[in-house]
Structure 1
């Protein structure tokens, strides 16, 4: 059974925040389980986020909930060891709607960092709005 790999010790960085207003649209809102809060990127192509896990993990599923009209057409998931270069794990093709979307990850190597790139937003200005994001898997030994 896969569990959420995001915990209090997981570090997150994002490409941008709308108007730099982290109090209203910051990255923390993707993980707070509140359906009324969200991360809202600023405009521009290829918005991204990086998660640094406290230990090595194996990924099994990627879950994301966008706001319709502000979703990515393509998501690229990459992974790396602590100081290594990112290598592509998988590509996902989300639908442009408000539902929670789940994407299985096939045979992921153990990683300590992942990067999710939101390519080609459905928004004309390239903004991405994420209400929920979760990575499922297991801790690696």
Structure 2
């Protein structure tokens, strides 16, 4: 894992991020995830980490944390399929949790119930299911 470490997002990462999100089914412009949204979230206290293999320069993971000044939200944590099950998802989760701890803020996320690997990582890291809640969204006005 030594050639793969989290680093901060740079604007020229965006096209590579879109490809990763497409491969991992995490998001994209149709969901409102665009370069401007990322930049605005960073200006408002968000963080965005990239995992890049420094030997191959291949972008292999992402983790985006937004801040609403009340709590943090963990988004788009995903690892390229060729690099999954090697501890990188846990590494990014721990990076986000360390950030939340440094701010003394709670952190919330959504994960699909069929994503057992992610669920296990999050449970190991102390996340709890919010019983009685349903996730709802309205994308179009």
Greater fraction strand: 1
The structure with more radius of gyration: 2
TM-score of the pair, normalised by structure 1: 0.31
Higher fraction of helix: 2
Higher relative contact order (CA 8 A, sep 6+): 1
